[in-house]
Structure formats: C-alpha cells, structure tokens
C-alpha cells in the first residue's frame, strides 16, 4: 500500500515546491518575524513572551494560507485535468490516492512550518540570546492542526470546488476553536464530549510563557490528530469512492 501512497505524496511535494505561493508565504512570514521585535508592546518587559506568542500566531496564519492553497484545489484540478485517470488505472485505489495527496500536503506544510520556526529561532537567538526551543512545541501543534484541516479540506474537495473547500475549512477552524463560546451555557454541557474541538492544539499560552507542555500532552495531541485525520480521510474515501470521474 505504501508503495503506491508514497509516490503520490512525493509527486504532490514536487508539484507544491514549484508553486510560488509556498515561497511567497515563507518570505512573508520571515519578514514579519523579523518585524516582531519592533511591536509597540515591547516596552512592557515581557518581550520574550510577546515574541513567542506573535511568532506562533504568524506560523499559524502562514501555515493556514499554505494548507488551504495546497489542499483546496488538489483533487478538483486532478479530476478536471484527468491526471487522476492515469493514476487510478494503474491499480491505485481511490483511498491510496487521497491518502497520498493528503500526505504530500502534510509534508510540504511540515517543511514550511519547520522553516518558519527555524527563522524565528534565529531571530530569537540574535535578539534575545535565547533559541526559545519551546517554539518547536508550538510548531508541532500548528502542524498537527493543519494536518487535521488539510484532511478535512481533502474530504470536501473530493466532491466540491476550491471556494466551497476554503469556506468549509475556515468554518471548521472557527467551530473547532469556539467550544466554550458555542457550548458555554449550562444546558449544553452534556454535548461537550461530542464537540469537534481543535483546542487540543492550542498551546499558545504555555509556549508563550516559556513553560511548554509535558511530553504526555504532546502524545495526547498526537492521538487527537490521528483520530480527526482518520475520520476526515474515511469520509473523503467514502465520498470520492461514490463519485463518477
């Protein structure tokens, strides 16, 4: 199975690396990271915390732009241009095709987030003399959340066009981080266990304040990631499997 998934993922990576959006986002994020120390709140004596918080937010936004741009049109364009015919006719299952596409997007996003974080570390080292290793925990959380989001985007894109995919993905992001707002009332408490919350990936505060999160938490975050991705890709396979190409 992996012998077919892996070439598809690598083809997605190669294709993505030729897209200008990857480099534009990378450069833009790097420039903004360099500008963080000039923020006005820097006179308050909490420079390190502010830097980490803004750096994480920057990584999140850049990764979000990248994830949506890579995943929204991946499957629709392959179906429209019929490049998917050559792939499926080789005995590749639709599930392998979708998982390979998602894996490729995950790899590119991971590489980009790693690059952002590397640049942010260099700036932190130059500005504060501290490499701020906690940023990598935040980067991992962002990456995993983007992995969930791209799996959801791939699921929607297997039956819908890019505009619908982006709208749906942003809606999921909003809903995923609004559990306390949407289910804040006492009457809705019982629903909380079923709420598709992405808050598990929100570790901005511990990272910003320098404490980080324990390894067990990182592990549980990984479990949440696997669970959500499995559900999203299962839905994707079900939807795509029913589609006439």
Partner 1 sequence: MSESNGPAILIRGAHKRYKPIVGAPQRDAVRGVDISVAPGTIHGLLGPNGAGKTTTIKMLLGLVRPTAGEFRILGEDSTRPEGRRRVGFMPEQPYFPQHLRAAQALRLYAQLAGVPRDEIGPRTTALMERVGLQGREKTTLDAFSRGMLQRLGIAQALINQPEVVVLDEPASGLDPVGQRDVRNLMLELRESGVTVLLSSHQLSEVEAVCDDVTIMNAGLVAAEGDLDALLNVEGRTSIRVRGLEGGLPARVAELASEVAVTGGVSVFSVADETVRAVIDAVDDAGGRVVSVTPVRDSLEDYFARLLATTAEGGEDR
- At residue 90, the 3 state secondary structure works out as coil
> Which residue, among 84, 88, 67, 94, has the nearest Cα to 165 in the 3D structure?
67
Specify whether the CB–CB gap between 30 and 186 falls below 8 A.
no
Which of 20, 45, 90, 216 is in the footprint of partner 1 by CB under 8 A? 90
The stretch among 6-14, 56-64, 149-157, 200-208 that binds partner 1 (CB under 8 A) is 6-14
Instruction: Name the minimum Å distance from CB 207 to partner 1.
Output: 36
Q: Which residues from 30-89 bind partner 1, rule CB under 8 A?
A: 81-83, 85-89
The stretch among 8-16, 134-142, 163-171, 182-190 that binds partner 1 (CB under 8 A) is 8-16
The pair of structure tokens assigned to 123 is 């700036």
Is the CB of 15 or the CB of 48 nearer to partner 1? 15
Q: Which residues from 93-112 bind partner 1, rule CB under 8 A?
A: 93, 96
Name the one residue in this structure whose structure tokens are 């596409």.
Answer: 101
Specify whether the CB–CB gap between 214 and 152 falls below 8 A.
no
Specify whether the CB–CB gap between 52 and 210 falls below 8 A.
yes
* CA atoms within 13 A of residue 11's CA, in its CB half-sphere: 15
Q: Does 92 bind partner 1 (CB under 8 A)?
A: yes
Is the CB of 3 or the CB of 181 nearer to partner 1? 3
Dihedral sign for Cα atoms in the order 196, 200, 201, 204: positive
Q: Does 20 bind partner 1 (CB under 8 A)?
A: no
Residues that bind partner 1 (CB under 8 A): 3-4, 7-8, 11, 14-15, 18, 81-83, 85-93, 96, 242, 244-245
């Amino acid at each position: 199975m992996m012998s077919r998934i892996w070439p598809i993922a690598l083809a997605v990576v190669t294709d993505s690396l030729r897209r200008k959006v990857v480099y534009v986002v990378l450069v833009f994020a790097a420039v903004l990271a360099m500008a963080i120390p000039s923020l006005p709140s820097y006179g308050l004596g909490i420079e390190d915390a502010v830097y980490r918080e803004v750096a994480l937010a920057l990584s999140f936004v850049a990764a979000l732009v990248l994830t949506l741009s890579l995943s929204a049109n991946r499957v629709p364009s392959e179906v429209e241009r019929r490049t998917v015919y050559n792939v499926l006719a080789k005995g590749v299952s639709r599930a392998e095709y979708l998982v390979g596409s998602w894996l490729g997007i995950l790899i590119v996003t991971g590489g980009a987030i790693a690059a952002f974080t590397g640049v942010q570390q260099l700036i932190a080292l130059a500005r504060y003399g501290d490499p701020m290793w906690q940023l990598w925990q935040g980067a991992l959380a962002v990456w995993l959340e983007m992995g969930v989001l791209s799996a959801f985007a791939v699921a929607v894109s297997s039956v819908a066009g890019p505009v619908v995919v982006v709208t749906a993905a942003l809606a999921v992001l909003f809903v995923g981080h609004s559990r306390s707002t949407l289910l804040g009332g006492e009457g809705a408490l019982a629903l909380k266990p079923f709420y598709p919350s992405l808050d598990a990936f929100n570790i901005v505060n511990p990272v910003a304040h320098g404490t980080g999160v324990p390894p067990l938490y990182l592990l549980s975050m990984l479990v949440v990631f696997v669970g959500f991705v499995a559900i999203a890709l299962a839905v994707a396979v079900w939807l795509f499997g029913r589609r006439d190409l």
